[in-house]
Amino acid sequence: MKQLRILSGGAAQGLVEKLRPAFEAQTGCVIEGTFGAVGAMRARLLAGEPADLVILTRTLIDGLEKGGHVTADTAADLGTVETAIAVRHGAAMPPVGDASVLRAALLKADEIHFPDPEQATAGIHFAGVLRDFGIHDEVSPRLKTAPNGATAMRELAASKSRNPIGCTQATEILSTPGIVLVAPLPPGCALATVYTAATVAKARASAEAAHLIAMLTDAAGREEGRRLGFTKS
């Protein structure tokens, strides 16, 4: 059976998985998706890993298009995802509505879960927030990083500590059982990231890639995206 090979940021995993059954029924093509930190997915593509479709940040897609790694004019924005705070299901919801109370909540937490601070969009940004707050070194022993946001949130859900907290893309929070989204990062700390799909220049399944991009960006796909945490389309 033909395969559609995807390299994607973790923020889009929930949406791709939601559309997978319909896509596979319509095309007879199965999705083989790898989801993780956008920097790592870009690196895999540039290292020569076979792929038909990439879903990364708009900035990274633009760079790949300029370099000839994705096909010009195939890029389509899926929507915008906010970076947000999460806690375990049933935990008290900490106040995070402005920078000062978020800082206090982070200092109070006994574990802080977030994705790769070098490769993941949310991880890079959140590590910067900790430094801007002047608390990175103080909380360093409590930082629990993971290769991607989905793994970080699963580890938050499984944590046995008294007062853990997490931060990653809202879509990854909403698609992880056992945790709840508290709120996006407050003004002054906020990050909203546009995610974009494009067909890889060396794609073997370019028609199927175009079909999935159409599904991700049609009215039904955009509505599903909003339910899963994409705030704008």
Residue 69 Rama label (left phi>0; alpha psi -120 to 50; beta): alpha
pLDDT digits (tens, 9 = 90+) for 137-162: 999 999 999 999 999 999 999 999 99
User: What does the pLDDT average to over 96-105?
Assistant: 97
Domains along the sequence of the chain with CATH: 3-79+194-232 (3.40.190.10), 81-184 (3.40.190.10)
Confidence band of 231 (pLDDT split at 50, 70, 90): confident
Confidence band of 189 (pLDDT split at 50, 70, 90): very high
